[in-house]
A and B are shown apart, each in its own frame.
Chain A
Amino acid sequence: MKFAQSLLILLILAIFPFHVGVVHANSVEIHGYVNDDEGKPVEGVFVEFFSLNGPPWIEYGWATTDSRGHYEFSLERPEWTGTPRFFGGLPIHEGCDVNVGWPANDQWKVMWVPSAAVINTEGMNTIEQDFVLMRIGVLKLAAYSSEGVLIHQFPESNYLSAMYTTDLNWKVIRSSFVSDRGILLLGLNVPNVVNIPWEVPGFGKVILRADNGGKGFIFTRPGEAMVTNLNYELARSEFGVLSEHYKSYVSQGYSFSDRLSLGIEKAASLLDSAGSVLDGARKAHYSDLCLNQTLWVNEDMETQKALQDIEKYRKGDVLLRFIDENGQPLRNMEVEVNQVSHDFLFGSLVEGGGGIPGLLVQGGMNLELLQLYWSQTKGAAPHLHFEMFKKMGVHFGAEGLVVTEPSSTMLSNLLDLPFDQVKSKIYDHVHLVVAKYAEYLDYWIAYHNPHMKMHSLGFSKEQITDLVKTAIGAVREADPTAQALIYFDHPCGFLAAMAFQGTDDDLTTDPYTFAAYLTEIGISNFGIALAMIYGSEDEYNGGAGPNVPYPFRDLSSISRILDWYGTLSVPIYITEFNVPGNFVSPLGYWHKRSWDESLKSEWIEKFYTIAFSKPNVRMVTYWGQST
């Protein structure tokens, strides 16, 4: 009987084949709640749905929230794409991009989060997705072009995020810029400093700051609004920084040329003129003149200070005493003193290897930074030339141990693994490579850009921290004398500011904050490797998204950013610096749009002077000698 029953079941299964599991419908239902950061429902904001990849971004439609903050939307199942969009460090092949927070009544009270949330629809028919939006104040920017024309609409698309906000240093604060309205949405009860690539006629286009007279823009009520003349605020802020630092430096004993104090007086006078007129365009005109004067003087001041700091921090006093075999002084004897090596590391990275040309060694380069990425360490050992250069006093370092960016070949070997296996794989890889080259290499970039959710492999902040600790530990265990470094792009937070992913992203932060967090939780024995490339010779390419252009910075802000990182009290290695060979980036240029050899030399000399003057900086590596 039992046999007959089993036979019957098998017969039914054979006649009526069916799949056990979820049947994928042609449409996907997405619903959820939008609340503010106090947990209160947000009513009347749009939740808009776009294609996963673009441009062009295809709009699927939108929903609005009701009085409970609830929304629901049904969309036709998006097509599966072989080119995934990486979100939260994981590839998404089927899904949609979500913009949330645009108010239906145009009354801004919560953060608008554009293109920063992605919903994965693969294998799902119904998705519950909640959003938490920050309550904000609104800063309306009245900005004038260098021709005196009021800017009604700022450039959008890729450069929309180029405007970003920080605290009075460069700690990134999440904000949102609505370019076509010229408004910045800023979180409540924190001093916000606006950072924006801004063209100053006669100086260049560099990231400048508006800090509201050194106080930051502070809003206390949702929807509170303020209008500011951006040109004037930039001039007031940049001059304020110059004036404050000049006084501070003089009180510390630094001396400056007369032209510097005259330049400050002139800038102060122009700022007074800007402050005394009411007409917006004229105010902007005087402000631009003040900015020009301020920025030139500021660079001059920081360069003069750097030269004095080099004397102070980079040198030592030596007394040599010569005696004969009886201990009697040897008078009037000729002595020659010749420096044969530098403690400071003047590095060079030649893309694709090839080593430092002998000429560079003769010119004082004493470190070669190698590229030992996953793909370069998994095949035959690269042909290197350690012995020859070691005899010439050259040190070696390498970048590329742990890289989890979407374009990384290492990533595909880590995706879909549980955390413990990823951790174990990272330890094994780092230990193996470092041990292999322990005899020659002294400096290792152990982990690249761990401070952004886009590189997180889907893991939490605590887990990423654990992986960083693992990589540092593996370097130290494989070679106790080696220096492990954590690499960061854009120490000013520019990249992090545009890399927030989702409204609940608690990992993405500026490099300073992340490095400070590592030290706070007891991770030590690491240095930080900073990429300080400006002007866009090498475009960043996340692999799946559009290129993000590199802006430019003036030398005085670079000097202050390095001073700020100096407060971390960890050694700083500038592992990427170069001269822009061209100006692909529409975001910035320094002094002239087109550089001749003279301007390139000036940029190199002044950058090295400033970096060399900072006591915590141990290395500057000229990265990618291709032009």
Chain B
Amino acid sequence: MLSMKTDANGGVQFRGFAGNYTITIRTKNGTLNSTIHVSEQASQSFTINLGKANAEHAITKATEAVSKAKTEGRTILLDRAESLLKESQKALSEENYGQAAVLAEEANQAANNAVTWLVIPVTAVVGAVLFAVVLLRKRAKKA
């Protein structure tokens, strides 16, 4: 593993065997990973836009959260998460990386907050039981 610091132009250089490499960048906001392929006898240049990488990372997380919610049947309020995810992808395609990241984060939270339809009957039953308990206690006090 190579550890380097970017120079004044934000660049690092290395010479490596042909194959796939993971590039790990540590920022104040966390760690980001990127993958590149190095070819034999070639000079290759890669530009990694951290804003873009950050947004892509956030979109990936949000997409996974939406999928997880669907798998678990938590579809109440999921519409909002999907809508936010679409907006963040649109922002990414328009190279508005900051906006894309914010929207993706919101989509992620919305997906995590989504609930299943089972919550309605369960809430109703729990509410009814609580109501019955309170009512019975009041009657008992009066008696």
Report which A residues bind B (CB closer than 8 A): 311-344, 615
Contacts and interface: CB of A to CB of B under 8 A. Distances in A.
Nearest to A343: B18
Which are the 10 A-B pairs with shortest beta-carbon distances? A325-B51, A329-B10, A343-B18, A325-B97, A337-B2, A336-B24, A341-B20, A316-B42, A317-B43, A342-B19
Nearest to A322: B10
B24 A316 contact: no
A326 B19 contact: no
22 contacts: A314-B17, A316-B44, A317-B14, A317-B15, A317-B44, A318-B38, A319-B43, A320-B14, A321-B11, A322-B11, A322-B50, A325-B51, A325-B55, A331-B6, A331-B7, A331-B8, A331-B10, A337-B1, A337-B2, A339-B19, A615-B40, A615-B41
A274 to B, nearest CB: 43
B3 to A, nearest CB: 5
Contacts of B17: 314-315, 339, 342-344
Interface in B15-64: 15-27, 35-36, 38-52, 54-55
Contacts of B97: 325
A592 to B, nearest CB: 32
B42 A320 contact: no
Contacts of B23: 320, 335-337
Contact of A323 (B26, B40, B47): B47
Contacts of B120: none
B5 to A, nearest CB: 6
B21 A339 contact: yes
Contact of B21 (A329, A332, A337): A337
B13 interface: yes
B24 to A, nearest CB: 4
Contacts of A324: 49-51
A335 B8 contact: no
B118 interface: no
A67 to B, nearest CB: 66
B4 A319 contact: no
Contact of B48 (A320, A339, A340, A342): A320
Interface in B117-139: none
Nearest to B25: A335
A334 B50 contact: no
Interface of B: 1-27, 35-36, 38-52, 54-55, 97-98
A317 B46 CA distance: 11
B28 to A, nearest CB: 10
B19 A334 contact: no
B50 A320 contact: no
A51 B51 CA distance: 83
Contacts of A314: 17-18, 40
Given A316-B16, A336-B1, A336-B23, A321 B38 contact: no
A337 B16 contact: yes
Given A325-B49, A335-B5, 14 more contacts: A317-B14, A317-B43, A319-B12, A320-B23, A320-B48, A321-B9, A323-B10, A324-B51, A325-B98, A329-B11, A331-B9, A334-B25, A334-B26, A342-B19
A329 B50 CA distance: 10
A428 B50 CA distance: 53
A514 to B, nearest CB: 28
B20 A321 contact: no
Given A313-B40, A320-B13, A335 B51 contact: no
B48 A321 contact: yes
Contacts of A335: 3-6, 12, 23-25
Contacts of B14: 317-318, 320, 337
B32 to A, nearest CB: 10
B42 to A, nearest CB: 4
Contacts of B12: 319-320, 322, 335, 337
A323 B4 CA distance: 16
Interface centre among A313, A318, A340 (most CB of B within 10 A): A318
B39 A316 contact: yes
A315 B18 contact: yes
A326 B27 CA distance: 16
Contacts of A328: 10
A318 B46 contact: yes
A322 B6 contact: yes
Contacts of B52: 325
A343 B2 contact: no
Contact of B13 (A312, A318, A323): A318
